[in-house]
Structure formats: C-alpha cells, structure tokens
Amino acid sequence: MFRAGHAHAGVLVILALIAQLLIDYAELDPTLAWIIRMGFPLAAILVSGGFFASAIGQNRTKPNGYISILYAGALLLAASLIILGVALIRSK
C-alpha cells in the first residue's frame, strides 16, 4: 500500500499540473474553473492518502475502513476529468 501511495501521488500530481494548463483553454465559468482547479490536486491527496491510511496497523494484510478515502479521491478525479474533457470539447 505504501508503494502504491507514492506511485499514485507522483502520477496524479503530474496530471494535476497538466490539467491546470488545460483549464486555462477551457471556457469555464470562473467558479467552476476554480472548483476543477482544486479538484485535481485534492484527488491526488485523497487517493494517495487513502492508500497510506488503509495500511495503518500492525501486521495488516487487508486494507481497513479508511480505503473509502481512496474511493472518494477516485470519484473526485473522475468528475474533474469528465467536466474538463467536456469543457475542452465545447470550447472554441
């Protein structure tokens, strides 16, 4: 879980940086653009944090209940990607 947490953090932070540039090209409402700008880095934090939190404990062989943090981050990432993708397709 710790290896996965570090790997996902690195990849998702790079995705968040690229998304910041793409948000500038999408014609979004400023409030929605701000929400999407915050959604990508927050998703990176939640996904990697979910991996780390679910591995807490001695001799753990299965994730604990904190794995739900990972799922929340994955949903946030998916929503942010879909909104950004649709906005980029609709932009001129």
18-70: pLDDT as tens digits: 999 999 999 899 999 999 999 999 999 999 999 888 888 787 778 888 889 99
Whole-prediction pTM:
0.88
- What pLDDT is recorded for position 69? 93
- What pLDDT is recorded for position 72? 96
Q: What is the dihedral of CA 25, 45, 72, 29, to 10 degrees?
A: -20
